Amino acid sequence: MRHTLSDQLLSRLIEFLAMRIGLYFPSGRWDDLERGMKAAAHKLGDASVEAYIHRVLSAPLTHQQIEILASHLTVGETYFFRDWHSFEALEQYVLPELIRSRRDSERRLRIWCAGCCTGEEPYSIAMLLDRLLPDYEQWHVTVLATDINPQFLRKAAEGIYGNWSFRGTPAWVKERYFKTGSQGHFEIHPRIKKMVTFSYLNLADDVYPSLSNNTNAMDIIFCRNVLMYFTEELAEKVVGNLYHAVVDGGWLAVSPAEASHTLFSRFSTVNFTGATFYRKVATDDLHPPPMPPQPLEIPALRPSPETPRRTEALPAAGEKTAAPAGPLLQRQHEPDDPCLMARLCANQGKLAEAAEWCGKAIVSDKLNPQNHYLLATILEELGQDDAAEQSLKRALYLEPDFVLAHFALGNLRLSQGRHGETKRHFANALALLQRLPLDEILPESDGLTAGRLGEIISSALTTLPRAAEMSA
């Protein structure tokens, strides 16, 4: 493709996209960038791609502009159980170890797919959980799937796929978890669909880990084929935030092309057959975690004569890293502040302890709505939805304009499939946000602005079924 845009204009655009959206286009991908910008300009009816680019560069991007750019500059190339070596490691070692360690205690699992595209990856994880957890209903499992492209999220939330999404996928996947629809499409089973929550999140710009967007205390994070599109500086920032979003002993999975000892130096490298994972080892853990017993006896994803092999090397003693601390860990540690202690414990996955600290905060200040809101977020993570709802209602009784409490109630109803109530609570939050300056930071949000929350809610509303009833 012959360039019609000047190198100077392309360079300015590349720098802007890297800073604002997190997408990086080296010289080898300038053709892709120009092609995508032309398509976006045509979509918006601009007379020329140059005029459109100058308009993008001249003013802050609106939510609609980000959506259009992301839809034309990101590639939805994925399928179920893509890179099956990673899923075998997940099935045969990572998940069984977590399940064994939690079965006799809290029975809680939290997994995040960052850059979920059209949903095949998080749904694949949900299918594995369905196979590994016959008593799934007795567990509290979170599978969070985020992406910057709202069109991808809408398709993922629909859960309808063509044959192309099943290329190289074991036959049992389609037979067990999909029903045949019209025009050769396949619709995912409602049980699996319900296990995944889709949400808009910009890894380059948003705050995480954070209780406000449910990105804290993750056991496993999948962030595959995402970091390769970032600048080196942005990739370091994102990995630093992901490090703090994972609990001690938790896992980070990236694509083979993104493996890097330097970038992931804060993690311990764990090599399986055909796949590399990164594990966050507690600072006081001087030895690698022990190998678990034999893998769970379930049919393997694919026939394999050997159990995934595993080697592990801890970061060198005294090795320094420059990854930034997560937002909840940047604050000073003050043991006499129960609210702060609750946040710190929640961010580390110590939910029972976090709830205790919240109780102390409420006893010391019963009329503070923020204490009740914080308790609600922790109770929801513990799977105590009814108690979380009551805490949110107490927060709103004390402060009817508490935006994040309205947003949290909407998310709670969304997780329950009560779309009518979801819309009402989100509408209440949007109405309150319209009264605030776009750059105003919301209380209890870990740095989230009013404008950003408005974009997140608007994106979430687009993924709801259009025919959702307004009753519960």
Q: Give 75-132 pLDDT, tens digit per residue.
A: 767 889 988 899 999 999 999 999 999 998 889 999 999 999 999 999 999 999 999 9
Measured CA to CA, the distance from residue 70 to residue 77 in angstroms comes to 14
Measured CA to CA, the distance from residue 254 to residue 113 in angstroms comes to 10
**Lowest-confidence range among 255-269, 308-322, 400-414, 421-435?**
308-322
Mean pLDDT estimate for the chain: 83
Instruction: Work out the pLDDT band at 45, boundaries 50, 70, 90.
Output: confident
Tell me the backbone φ, ψ of residue 469, rounded to 5 degrees.
Answer: -75, 150
Instruction: Work out the pLDDT band at 322, boundaries 50, 70, 90.
Output: very low
- Of residues 244 and 48, the one with the higher pLDDT is 244
CB 148 within 8 A of CB 22: yes
Structure tokens given for 44: 């918006």
Helix (H) or strand (E) holding 247: strand 246-253
**pLDDT of the residue at 337:** 85
DSSP track, 106-164: T-EEEEEEES-TTSHHHHHHHHHHHHH-TTGGGSEEEEEEEES-HHHHHHHHHTEE-GG
CB 259 within 8 A of CB 151: no
Q: Quick: pLDDT tens for 407-451.
A: 999 999 988 888 899 999 999 999 999 999 988 999 888 888 898
DSSP track, 339-400: HHHHHHHHHTT-HHHHHHHHHHHHHH-TT-HHHHHHHHHHHHHTT-HHHHHHHHHHHHHH-T
**pLDDT of the residue at 3:** 63
- Of residues 326 and 47, the one with the higher pLDDT is 47
Structure tokens given for 321: 């890293």
pTM tops 0.85: no
Distance of CA 91 to the CA centre of its chain: 20
Assess whether pLDDT exceeds 90 at residue 135. Answer: yes
**pLDDT of the residue at 394:** 95
Q: Kindly state the average pLDDT of the residues 39-43.
A: 84
The residue type found at 434 is Q
**pLDDT of the residue at 299:** 45
The residue type found at 456 is I
Measured at the CA of 160, the angle between CA 138 and CA 426, to 5 degrees, comes to 65
**pLDDT of the residue at 2:** 57
What percentage of residues in the chain have a pLDDT greater than 90?
A: 43
**pLDDT of the residue at 313:** 39
Instruction: Work out the pLDDT band at 466, boundaries 50, 70, 90.
Output: low
Q: Quick: pLDDT tens for 231-250.
A: 888 899 999 999 999 999 99
Instruction: Work out the pLDDT band at 471, boundaries 50, 70, 90.
Output: very low
**pLDDT of the residue at 356:** 93
**pLDDT of the residue at 469:** 41
Assess whether pLDDT exceeds 80 at residue 199. Answer: yes
Measured CA to CA, the distance from residue 359 to residue 129 in angstroms comes to 33
Burial class (CB in 10 A: 0-12, 13-18, 19+), 408: buried
**pLDDT of the residue at 324:** 41
Strand order in the sheet with 178-180: 160-161, 186-188, 178-180
What percentage of residues in the chain have a pLDDT greater than 70?
A: 85
**pLDDT of the residue at 283:** 57
Q: Quick: pLDDT tens for 293-310.
A: 344 344 455 543 333 333
Q: Kindly state the average pLDDT of the residues 188-195.
A: 94
Q: Quick: pLDDT tens for 342-374.
A: 888 888 888 889 999 999 999 999 999 999 999
Measured CA to CA, the distance from residue 427 to residue 111 in angstroms comes to 28
**pLDDT of the residue at 425:** 95
Measured CA to CA, the distance from residue 236 to residue 215 in angstroms comes to 18
CB 343 within 8 A of CB 328: yes
**pLDDT of the residue at 325:** 42
**pLDDT of the residue at 88:** 93
Q: Kindly state the average pLDDT of the residues 181-209.
A: 89
